[in-house]
Amino acid sequence: MTKKRIMWLDFAKGITVFLVVIVHVVEGIYKTGMYHQVDIFSEITMGLLFTIVMPIFFALSGYVYKPIQSGQQFFEKTKNKFLGLGIPYIVFSIIYVMLQHASPDVHSLNSWQALLHIYVMPVGYLWYLYVLFLVYVFIEMIHLIHIPPYWQIILYAGLLLYSVMPFSNLLYPIKSLFMWVGCFYIGIILKEKSQILENKYIISTCSLLFLGSLFWQGSQGGAWFNTDMMSLGNIIAKITSIPIFLYLFSRVKNGVITRYFVKYGRYSLIIYLVHAPIASIVRTLILKVSLPPYVLLVISTVIISWCISIFIIYLSRKYSWVNFIFYPDNYFKRMK
């Protein structure tokens, strides 16, 4: 039973990070403005994938979360998370800004001074690591003071609603924490109340709400597809996507494709960290050589970016100094 649970969780991480690679490739090509004839396809792809990938990632982290039992565990675990997420966060923030300044194909350039403020404002896609650390610390504190589960649900729902209100003039760390901690806690609930994923009425209702919300978003026009962050318009789709996709992942059958994504799902952090700069470089190089058909550009950029990410996983397993960049907390644990 345990092996099956771990298998589908790794599969979920693997397939979700693959979808992250796809959506960032599509977004990068979309922002070049070179393929206006397929803008509708790009917008639908971004609208769907941006809606689901980050809520699923936070929920999966919540699903594997193990509550602390004491203040000493809190400080020890917080230190490990700070090292485990903080060092890759800093390293790849520097790499990200360096590559932006080295490339002429940049849609939103971060200044060098931005690196001095990453403790309050992350750059680019690295916001996920920043917010995940805040969520871990907050959840640990809530568990330390033993707030009952039903009060936690009310608390996180209230914080989410407040964070997306136009009048909520919150600093980024607080706003982002309030926005995403609820998705993490849904993962905890789905683990503790596994019968939820067995209830087809709940999954069916979530599916109807998810599809209805997506349809409504698309009907609004404008930049409706910009759904990476939470908003009043996409809360329902983002929240309901979690039980839907965890239900689907938990029922995946063992096979060649499943085993492939299970294998690389264990290294989803590495793929997440390296895919964005790699995809940007690959896209830029391809467009310098020629202007290929849209589908060919998307497929080739995704495949090359994915394969290079897999190669970096191989390097991390072969060389300890590469592994340290991605998993520094493991290195410090071994030193004890």
More confident residue, 336 or 289: 289
The two tokens of residue 330 are: 């493991």
What percent of the chain is modeled with pLDDT above 90?
77
82 pLDDT higher than 60: yes
pLDDT (average), residues 49-76:
93
pLDDT of residue 49: 96
Please give the single-letter amino acid code of residue 119: Y
Which residues are CB-neighbours of 261 under 8 A, at least 6 positions away? 10, 11, 14, 15, 18
What is the pLDDT confidence band of residue 256, given thresholds at 50, 70 and 90? Answer: very high
Structure tokens at 82: 């700070």
69 — pLDDT class (breaks 50, 70, 90): confident
pLDDT tens, position by position, 294-317: 999 999 999 999 999 999 999 999
Q: With a cut of 70, say whether residue 5 has pLDDT above it.
A: no
pLDDT band at residue 174 using 50, 70 and 90 as cut-offs: very high
The pLDDT of residue 104:
59
**What pLDDT is attached to residue 3?**
44
pLDDT of residue 2: 41
Q: What is the largest CA-CA distance in the chain?
A: 60
Residue, of 330 and 70, whose pLDDT is higher: 70
* Owning domain of residue 159: 2-335
Q: What pLDDT is recorded for position 106? A: 58
Instruction: Report how far Cα 311 is from the mean position of its chain's Cα atoms.
Output: 21
For range 2-21, the mean pLDDT: 85
How high is the pLDDT of residue 192? 93
The CA R_g of the chain, rounded to the nearest whole Å, is 20
Residue 141 pLDDT exceeds 90: yes
If you average pLDDT over residues 248-270, what whole number do you get?
94
- pLDDT score, position 335: 61
Is the distance from CB of 203 to CB of 240 less than 8 angstroms? Answer: no
Residue 109 pLDDT: 72
Neighbours of 301 (CB within 10 A): 28
* Nearest to 185, CA basis, from 316, 306, 58: 58
Q: State the pLDDT at residue 329.
A: 81
Please count the structural domains in the chain. Answer: 1
* pLDDT tier, 108 (very low <50, low <70, confident <90, very high otherwise): low
* C-alpha torsion sign, points 217, 223, 227, 232: negative
pLDDT for 128 equals 97
Residue 111 pLDDT > 70, yes or no?
yes
Query: Which of residues 307 and 222 earns the better pLDDT score?
Result: 307
Residue 161 pLDDT: 96
83 pLDDT higher than 80: yes
- SS3 of 217-246: HHHCCCCCCCCCCCCCCCHHHHHHHHHHHH
